[in-house]
């Protein structure tokens, strides 16, 4: 009887790409993939460790699996598994914990699926995570996440990613172009480039610590791959987002006018305490350059609230800075103490109540920024890529500049691109549309 496997992924797009790679390998070894939360013989949970909430969510998923099938074999991979393998192995129900390099060899640890009294740990020292494993994920029929880089050489004081994923290293340019063509051949309309620090692309290519290629060379190569309709950059550090990259995206065939640029704080005092590699003045320059060459571009921002030493005055610096900045939306993260990071032992701890208050303020600001950006786009004509899910009688899609739209459900629209006019904003904060050219773009 064929063994079944289900997957649950926590965290970033990179985790989703790697889960898909692990899934394809297990399917080659005879497992039948079933959707979570259906009953399966094996459950693979890919973990995140960015916040304490991610740790808590993992534990709740383990409990959920045990309710679905108490006899199921539970294997755990991902960043949390690399950082705290023994802690995870002691959780009731967990049978196997694999570290950063072992996760891609999961099949060798699954000779049988007998439940263990104590979870087994196979984890390397993170210094051994110095090789690259190519990955991509196809989340639905419209979009794929393509991993181009892994690891990070930065030493931000709040971050565990270098401890969980190792040094910065890259896929070869030739292999990325092959994978991109492979994805396009499956009928996927959009590819999102993902990694830990993708602007550092080229370092570690072919095992060489120096850069063999640059991120600019990568996107220039991808732009020439036929049959890729859209390419999107997931997130790029402001100090690595050079003007040449911005200018290339503005004139490219396939790259869309959407940038997600981590800021983390609008206070130079806090940026220095975080050991970020820029000050806010550079961030202003990057936003200004994007607006100069792509006035309608969507610009997203990561920001952390409640970092140690963030006084009310310094938080106000961040709030005022973001309020004045011509951006489109925020991803707000509440600071969470992470073991073995310098920030965890810093003075000036911000209380949980205050952290929540500041987070709420910035989330409210984000909603205003997004609505203002959407309003600025009303009346314009855009190309919308429609997705595959029926959500309460509506189909959703995204314009090239990341405006989320809705129109009554029509299955014939799935995975097609249409020229539309942005009509008005509804009560959900989404843009309703009226068709301009009902024929999909080939």
In a domain, 186, yes or no: yes
Q: Are residues 21 and 67 in the same domain?
A: yes
Query: Is pLDDT at 425 greater than 50 in this prediction?
Result: yes
DSSP H helical ranges for 224-351: 243-251, 268-274, 280-293, 312-324
Contact present, 100 and 46 (Cβ < 8 Å): no
In a domain, 337, yes or no: yes
Question: Average of pLDDT values for 320-331?
Answer: 98
Q: Which two tokens stand for residue 178?
A: 């092959």
Q: Are residues 207 and 168 in the same domain?
A: yes
Whole-angstrom Cα distance, residue 5 to residue 26?
8
Q: Are residues 353 and 368 in the same domain?
A: yes
CATH number reported for the structural domain that contains residue 365 in this entry: 3.30.750.200
435, containing H or E segment: strand 431-437
In a domain, 293, yes or no: yes
Q: Are residues 216 and 295 in the same domain?
A: no
Whole-angstrom Cα distance, residue 1 to residue 129?
36
Whole-angstrom Cα distance, residue 199 to residue 2?
42
Q: Are residues 135 and 250 in the same domain?
A: yes
Whole-angstrom Cα distance, residue 413 to residue 436?
14
CATH number reported for the structural domain that contains residue 205 in this entry: 3.30.750.210
How far, in whole angstroms, is CA 310 from its chain's centroid? Answer: 26
Whole-angstrom Cα distance, residue 287 to residue 297?
10
Strands 136-138 and 143-147 turn out to be: antiparallel
Query: Residue 20: is it exposed, middle or buried by C-beta count within 10 angstroms (0-12/13-18/19+)?
Result: buried
The structure's pTM equals: 0.92
- State the pLDDT at residue 442: 40
In a domain, 340, yes or no: yes
Q: Are residues 13 and 67 in the same domain?
A: yes
In a domain, 442, yes or no: no
Q: How many CA atoms lie within 13 A of 268 on its CB side?
A: 7
In a domain, 261, yes or no: yes
In a domain, 389, yes or no: yes
pLDDT in tens, 382-417: 999 999 889 889 999 999 999 999 999 999 999 999
CATH number reported for the structural domain that contains residue 104 in this entry: 3.40.50.12160
Which of 124, 148, 168 terminates a domain? The answer is: 124
In a domain, 57, yes or no: yes
Q: Are residues 118 and 149 in the same domain?
A: no
- State the pLDDT at residue 436: 53
By residue range, what is the domain housing residue 97? 4-124
pLDDT in tens, 357-370: 999 999 999 999 99
CATH number reported for the structural domain that contains residue 396 in this entry: 2.40.50
Which of 124, 155, 179 terminates a domain? The answer is: 124
Concatenated DSSP letters of 296-320: T-EEEEEEEES-TT--HHHHHHHHH
pLDDT band at 435 (very low <50, low <70, confident <90, very high): low
Query: Is pLDDT at 438 greater than 60 in this prediction?
Result: no
Q: Are residues 368 and 286 in the same domain?
A: yes
pLDDT band at 437 (very low <50, low <70, confident <90, very high): low
- Cross-strand partners of 194: 147
pLDDT in tens, 294-303: 999 999 999 9
Domains held by the chain: number:
4
CA nearest neighbour of 158 among 319, 22, 349, 312 = 349
pLDDT in tens, 96-136: 999 998 999 999 999 889 998 889 999 878 777 778 889 99
Strands 431-437 and 404-408 turn out to be: parallel
DSSP 277: S
Q: Are residues 113 and 146 in the same domain?
A: no
Q: What is the torsion angle, in degrees rounded to the nearest 10, for the CA atoms of residue 144, residue 164, residue 178 and residue 217?
A: 100
pLDDT band at 439 (very low <50, low <70, confident <90, very high): very low
DSSP 328: S
Q: Are residues 159 and 246 in the same domain?
A: yes
CA nearest neighbour of 417 among 261, 190, 244 = 190
Longest dimension (CA), the chain: 64
Q: Name the one residue in this structure whose structure tokens are 């794929």.
A: 144
Query: Is pLDDT at 31 greater than 80 in this prediction?
Result: yes
Q: Are residues 178 and 151 in the same domain?
A: yes
- State the pLDDT at residue 258: 98
Q: Are residues 320 and 289 in the same domain?
A: yes
Whole-angstrom Cα distance, residue 327 to residue 291?
9
pLDDT band at 434 (very low <50, low <70, confident <90, very high): confident
Q: What is the torsion angle, in degrees rounded to the nearest 10, for the CA atoms of residue 327, residue 330, residue 334 and residue 339?
A: -90
- Mention every residue, 6+ apart, whose C-beta is less than 8 A from residue 96: 73, 74, 75, 76, 109, 110, 116, 119, 120, 122
């Amino acid at each position: 009887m064929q063994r079944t496997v289900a997957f649950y992924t926590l965290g970033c797009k990179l985790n989703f790409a790697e889960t898909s790679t692990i899934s394809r390998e297990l399917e080659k070894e005879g497992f039948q993939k079933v959707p979570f939360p259906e009953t399966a013989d094996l459950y693979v949970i890919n973990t995140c460790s960015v916040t304490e909430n991610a740790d808590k969510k993992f534990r709740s998923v383990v409990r959920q699996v045990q309710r679905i099938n108490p006899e199921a074999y539970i294997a755990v991979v991902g960043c949390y598994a690399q950082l705290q393998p023994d802690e995870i192995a002691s959780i009731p129900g967990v049978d196997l914990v694999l570290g950063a390099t072992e996760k891609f060899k999961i099949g060798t640890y699954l000779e049988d699926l007998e439940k263990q009294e104590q979870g087994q740990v196979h984890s390397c020292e993170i210094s051994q995570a110095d090789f690259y494993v190519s990955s991509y994920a196809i989340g639905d029929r419209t979009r794929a996440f393509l991993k181009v880089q892994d690891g990070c050489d930065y030493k931000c004081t709040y971050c565990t990613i270098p401890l969980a994923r190792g040094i910065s290293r890259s896929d070869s340019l030739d292999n990325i172009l092959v994978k991109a063509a492979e994805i396009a051949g499956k009928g996927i309309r959009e590819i999102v480039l993902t990694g830990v620090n993708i602007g550092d692309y080229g370092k570690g290519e072919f095992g060489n610590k120096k850069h063999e290629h640059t991120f600019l060379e990568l996107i220039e190569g991808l732009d020439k791959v036929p049959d890729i309709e859209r390419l999107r950059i997931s997130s790029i550090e402001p100090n690595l987002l050079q003007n040449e990259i911005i200018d290339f995206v503005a004139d490219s065939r396939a790259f869309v006018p959407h940038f997600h640029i981590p800021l983390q704080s609008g206070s130079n005092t806090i940026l220095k305490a975080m050991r970020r590699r820029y000050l806010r003045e550079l961030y202003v320059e990057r936003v200004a350059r994007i607006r100069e060459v792509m006035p309608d571009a969507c610009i997203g921002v990561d920001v952390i609230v409640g970092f140690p030493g963030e006084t009310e005055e310094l938080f106000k610096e961040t709030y005022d800075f973001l309020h004045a900045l011509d951006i489109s939306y925020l991803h707000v993260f509440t600071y969470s103490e992470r073991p073995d990071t310098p920030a965890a032992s810093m003075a000036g701890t911000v209380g949980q109540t205050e952290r929540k208050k500041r987070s709420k303020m910035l989330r409210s600001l984000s909603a205003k920024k997004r609505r203002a950006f959407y309003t600025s786009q009303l009346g314009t004509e855009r190309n919308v890529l429609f997705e595959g899910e029926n959500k309460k009688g509506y189909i959703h899609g995204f314009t090239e500049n990341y405006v989320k739209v809705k129109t009554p459900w029509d299955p014939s629209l799935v995975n097609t691109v249409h020229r539309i006019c942005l009509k008005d904003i509804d009560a959900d904060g989404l843009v309703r549309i009226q068709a301009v050219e009902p024929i999909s773009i080939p």
